[in-house]
Amino acid sequence: MSFVQLSEAFAPFEDLAQDLLPHVVMTNDGAHDAAHLIRVYKLAKSLQALEGGCLRVLTAAVLLHDCVAVEKNSPERSRASRLAADKAREILTRLGWDEADLDAVDHAIHAHSYSANIPPQTLEAKILQDADRLDALGFVGIARCFYTAGRMGSSLYDAADPVAKERDLDDASFALDHFTTKLLKLTDGFKTKAGKDMAELRHARMQAFIEYFVEEI
């Protein structure tokens, strides 16, 4: 798919998408690819329609929030959003964005990351964080979790103790552990009401999946 074709998914800011997509690193990580950008944009757009905020700022922040690729097992992972925010500022500065909007995009990108642990202060930052975390929940979140586990060389679960009754959780080794160590904790941290409502539904779907999964194994 060309950048022109892909940009159509970011209406009404197709022109902005065409300008920014060439700067996005398209890696072989299927959990953080073009489809992820489109899903996060649709979620951010839905949240913005209910909560308010500047859609132009949000669009730029969504497009560039993963513009620096850092693997999940890298020691630099906690700095990924800071690196992406710095790169985004450079790109948007060259496109003539004013300082206020640069600051808004910078903060939204920096604060979106779970690893960075930066509290979002603006409505746009809260929406981007919520939209990105929504994509880690529900059935899409389940698919991304197991995809990433396979990509990182992890097992589905510990055959001897699948739900960690007598061992420490280890999500670097077992995909199933990641639901408990992180994914099922995300819902408590949502910053917008609309985002929390969506998160609770996806959280319930994820819990149901785990219950059936454990029953089957």
What is the model's pLDDT at position 5?
A: 85
Residues 120, 126: contact at Cβ < 8 Å?
A: yes
Residues 143, 73: contact at Cβ < 8 Å?
A: no
Core vs surface per residue 154-173: b (16+ CB within 10 A) or e: beebbeeeebbeeeebebee
What is the model's pLDDT at position 116?
A: 82
Which domains does the chain carry?
1-131 (1.10.3210.10), 136-217 (1.20.58.1910)
**Cα–Cα–Cα angle for 39, 43, 46, rounded to 5 degrees:** 140
Residues of the chain with pLDDT under 50: none
What is the model's pLDDT at position 1?
A: 64
Residues 147, 31: contact at Cβ < 8 Å?
A: yes
What is the model's pLDDT at position 32?
A: 81
